Each structure stands twice: as structure tokens, then as C-alpha cells.
Structure 1
Amino acid sequence: MPMSAAQLSAVLTPIVDFVFPPRCPLCGSPVAAHGGLCLACWAKIVVPSGTCCKLCQRPMGELYGAEAEMVCAPCMAEPPKHSGIAAATLYNEPSRALVLALKHGRRIGLVPMMARMILPRLGGLEGDWLVVPVPLHRWRLMRRGFNQSALLARELARLTGKQLMVDGLVRPKATPSLGGLNRKSRARVLTGAIQPNPRLAHRLTGARVLLVDDVMTSGATTDACMVALRRAKVAEVRIACFSRVLDEALDGLRVSPEPDA
């Protein structure tokens, strides 16, 4: 009788661990199992906490006695068209190192760990949802060999049991790097760059979409995705990302953000 995947994993894991001892992907220290960080590196990861904006989940500090329905100043000035942002971490040096290891170091083995870190931030996803990644232009996809957002989306779909639509959005227009551009300039560069997939637009109509990205920097890329999804007449969009750039929430801990891709 053939072994199940779980049984095969139980047999092979000790062998793999012996040949390739588990190491922390950030510092190289020994860890108990593959796909985890050591305690010292976990302590450096910043997870959004405290009172958060009810619309965008922006951390607002430890406001004891504050109402749970608080709204941050940016959302009061311009209410978002999504129904929330689930970010596993705030963007600092350790989270940046993980993002770069995945995106440019081709460490796709980090994806399950990063997706598991996003999962608790999602809350309940009741009913039917489509898990849609932020798309890459085909030239960038060919150069890199993979779309890191699509890998995260696939793992989140597996963990949540929701349906993956890896090509729900397409990026027919190639764009330059957005590094160094302000929000308005990024929005101008991205105008028309992201579209609903014409073959699948009918499936997006009326659907609830979990939009997945690795890093949310200025929000210009996710805004462009929102425009495309609204054009397809989706019912609701939530955003999930591994890391979110919110310098004001890091108490002065600054790093250079990875540009939207």
C-alpha cells in the first residue's frame, strides 16, 4: 500500500535534516526545523500590534481605553476602497532581508513560512474568496523566473482552502522600477499597467478577492490593482502582504524600502 504524503514526509524529514541541517535563513544559526527563524531573529521581526485603524489596520500605538472603531488620519482624508490590509510584519531590516532573499535570492523555500506569518492577520475569510496575486509583466517574470506574490498566493490559498486565481490580473504594460518616486509619480507610471484578465473577468464579477503581494510600499501598485478589480466589478477586496512599509509605526527604525514590482 503506497504511503501518504504525510507518512512520506515523516520518513524523509530526518534524512533531509541530517544532510541539510536546519538553519535560520537570516543569521544561519541552527533551528529545530526548516522554515523557521531562530529566537534572536524572531525577536527582531516587528508584527503590527496595539490599536489599529478599523479600515486599513494601520497600527496606532497602545491607546489604552481607545475605542476599537478608530480610524487613522490617512483613511479619514481618503477612505480606502478595500476592506482591510493584513500585513504579517512591518518593514524593517529583518523583514527586508527575507523579502530580498525570496525575490532576488530565489529562496522560494521561504514562502511557506512567510505565508504562515500572514495567515493569523487575515482573520476570518467566511464564504467564497478568490486569492489573486499582484501580477508581473511577462518580461520581468521571464527574467526572475517566478512571481513571488503568486507563490505566496498559492500557499495562502492552500492554507485557507480558498480558490487560487493566479492569473486573475495581468500586467500588459511594462513599467520601470518605482524606487525613488513619490506616490503620485508611481500612480502615473502604473496608469493602465494592470488589467483584469479578459478571459477571467466574468469570474471576478461579484467575487470577493484576497489580493496578495510580498511588500506594500506606497500602495501605488495595490491601488492600480484595485482600479482593475473595480473595473471587473468585484464585490470586495482585502489585501494581504508579508511586509508593509509604515515608517511612523517603527519608532524611528528606518530602512530603504524595496520598490514596488
Structure 2
Amino acid sequence: MDAEASPSRSIAHRLRGALGACHSAWRHAARLALDIALPTLCVACREPVAGEGVCASCWAKLSFIAPPYCPRLGIPFVYDPGPDLLSMEAIASPPAYARARAAVRYDDVARTLVHALKYQDRTDLAPAMGRWMARAGHELLRDADALVPVPLHWRRGWSRRYNQSGALARVIERQSGVKLASEALRRVRPTQQQIGLSRAQRATNVQGAFKVAPERTADVQGRRLILIDDVLTSGATVDACARALLRAKALSVDVLVFARVVDTHKAPI
């Protein structure tokens, strides 16, 4: 009986293998046809682009931040005022964190990239954005022990399905070799969107919203940490995060973001 059944099983196995190969080839052909029919578009201008979502023209419009800038806040200076000179913002309202760095100014193209990553599931943008951040924050990364992404509240994380700060942090981890401590910091209460709030309202909105869980203190105590976020506007969110980490005995906290708002009317001249 077994001898008679064996050829049948062999034929069936070969047929399944052939069908599987045909199905795989069909899926590959379908993906290729879709790529040809619907090429990747630049997130900013919607022109076809081969690469990571930004065409050469829009890439050239990004305003990358380079020295000279405030050594504390990373705000770009119009001219070099000399070593260790702080911006007026850093003197008037020093933050809890030690240093902040950003890859680009928060202009129209940068805003489009951030919104696409944050709200449109364009996680394919994270590798390029994270590499630019790693380049901008090389001096911070050189001394760091761990990366801490700014967390979402679990309700917002559930609705978005991923944390854009965590996506950027994973890229920076691969680029720099600095380990990711993704659970070190928690958002313990939901907060409203910061958009449209004044500086004082932003600070009040996030006050007490972040905490290091007791079981995660080993990730924080005595360590030099870098907070990772997408945008730095007033700095209220990262300042609240830094205070929570410092209360948990972090040795130091720096901040690395993709884009930061630069008020040209307040920039030193």
C-alpha cells in the first residue's frame, strides 16, 4: 500500500513546488508592474524619484544646520561669534538638557518630511532622516551611553501603530553603535497636541507627563543619554523628558532631533 502511495505523494509534492514557484514569480512580476505603473514620488513636490522619497531639487531646498551655532541649543548663528558664546535663548531660559542638535531647520520641505513620517506611514523616510541626524549629532553620539526616543502615550501609539521617534532612533543606533533604550522613559498620561499652544501652555501640557519606571532605572542611572525626537519647537517636551531622566539619576541628557524651529527674528546677529 505504501509503495503504491509513494509515487502519488511525490507527484503531489512536485506539483505543489511548481505551483509555489509560479505564485512567487507572479507576485514578483506584479510588484514590478506596480513599481513601473506607480513610481515612487517625492514627498514634497510629488515628482517621480528613484531613492528614499526626496528628489534632488527638494533635497537642495533643505536647510541643513552647520556651525557656527549655539553650543547649548544648536541654534545657528549668522556669523561666528567665537568659541563657547551662547545664544540669547540659552542665557535667558537654560533648559534641563545639556545640549541640543538638529539636522535641518524646520522649513516647508522638512515639515513635509516630518508629517509624512509621523502621520502617513512613510517609514521609508526614516533611514535618510536618521542618517542626517547621526551626522548632525556626531559629537553627542561620541560620548553617549544610550539613545532614548521620546515616547508616545500607549493610546496614541496604538492609533498610529508606531513611534516616529523610535523609528529614527533605530536608524541612529545602526549608524552610531550607541544602544537603544526604548523602554527607559514612559509617557504616563496623555497630553493634547502641542500645535497652537503658547510656550507657557506647552510647558504646562507636558508637566509630569513622563516618568522612568522603577524597573528601568538601571537603563538610566549614571548614564549619558540622548533624547531622540522628530522636531524641536519650544523645547517643552524634551525638557520635560530630560527632567524625568535626571530625576532618575541620569548622568547627563542631550537632545538630537531631525528639525528645529529657528526664529530668525531672535537669532543673534
* TM tier relative to shorter chain: 0.7 to 0.9
- Residue type matched to 2:199 in 1? R
Aligned to 2:115: 100
Q: 1:39 aligns with which of 40, 49, 56?
A: 56
Cα separation, partners in 2 of 1:163 and 1:45, compared to 1, 3 Å:
same
Q: CA deviation at 1:197?
A: 2.5
CA distance in 1, matches of 2:248, 2:111: 33
Aligned to 2:154: 138
Q: 2:132 aligns with which of 89, 94, 117?
A: 117
CA distance in 2, matches of 1:217, 1:193: 18
Q: CA deviation at 1:18?
A: 7.9
Q: 1:198 aligns with which of 214, 228, 231?
A: 214
Larger Rg computed on CA atoms: 2
SS at match of 1:173: coil
Q: CA deviation at 1:50?
A: 4.4
Question: 1:50 touches 1:61 (CA, 8 Å); kept in 2?
Answer: no
Q: CA deviation at 1:172?
A: 1.3
Query: Structure 1: 5+ residue runs without aligned partners?
Result: 1-14, 252-261
Cα separation, partners in 2 of 1:232 and 1:41, compared to 1, 3 Å:
same
SS at match of 1:248: coil
Question: 1:90 touches 1:250 (CA, 8 Å); kept in 2?
Answer: no
SS at match of 1:164: coil
Cα separation, partners in 2 of 1:22 and 1:208, compared to 1, 3 Å:
same
Counterpart mapping for 1:181-220 below 5 A:
181-220=197-236
- Residue type matched to 2:52 in 1? G
Question: 1:202 touches 1:232 (CA, 8 Å); kept in 2?
Answer: no
Q: CA deviation at 1:176?
A: 1.4
Query: Structure 2: 5+ residue runs without aligned partners?
Result: 1-29
CA distance in 2, matches of 1:126, 1:50: 17
Q: 1:27 aligns with which of 42, 45, 48?
A: 45
Q: CA deviation at 1:62?
A: 2.4
Q: Does residue 69 of structure 2 align to residue 52 of structure 1?
A: yes
Q: CA deviation at 1:127?
A: 5.0
Question: 2:222 touches 2:249 (CA, 8 Å); kept in 1?
Answer: yes
Q: CA deviation at 1:201?
A: 1.2
Counterpart mapping for 1:217-256 below 5 A:
217-248=233-264
Aligned to 1:258: none
Cα separation, partners in 2 of 1:150 and 1:249, compared to 1, 3 Å:
farther
Cα separation, partners in 2 of 1:153 and 1:70, compared to 1, 3 Å:
same
Cα separation, partners in 2 of 1:139 and 1:184, compared to 1, 3 Å:
same
Aligned residues: 234
Cα separation, partners in 2 of 1:41 and 1:202, compared to 1, 3 Å:
same
Question: 1:60 touches 1:249 (CA, 8 Å); kept in 2?
Answer: no
Q: CA deviation at 1:126?
A: 3.0
- Residue type matched to 2:236 in 1? A
Aligned to 2:175: 159
CA distance in 2, matches of 1:18, 1:247: 46
CA distance in 1, matches of 2:60, 2:266: 14
Q: 1:70 aligns with which of 82, 85, 90?
A: 85
Cα separation, partners in 2 of 1:16 and 1:46, compared to 1, 3 Å:
farther
Question: 1:59 touches 1:249 (CA, 8 Å); kept in 2?
Answer: no
SS at match of 1:83: coil
Cα separation, partners in 2 of 1:135 and 1:184, compared to 1, 3 Å:
same
TM-score, length-scaled by structure 2: 0.80
Q: Deviations over 1:205-244 (max 9, x none)?
A: 0001110001111111001101101111111111111111
Identity of aligned pairs, percent?
36
TM-score, length-scaled by structure 1: 0.83
Q: CA deviation at 1:95?
A: 0.5
CA distance in 2, matches of 1:18, 1:29: 19
Q: More helix by proportion, 1 or 2?
A: 2
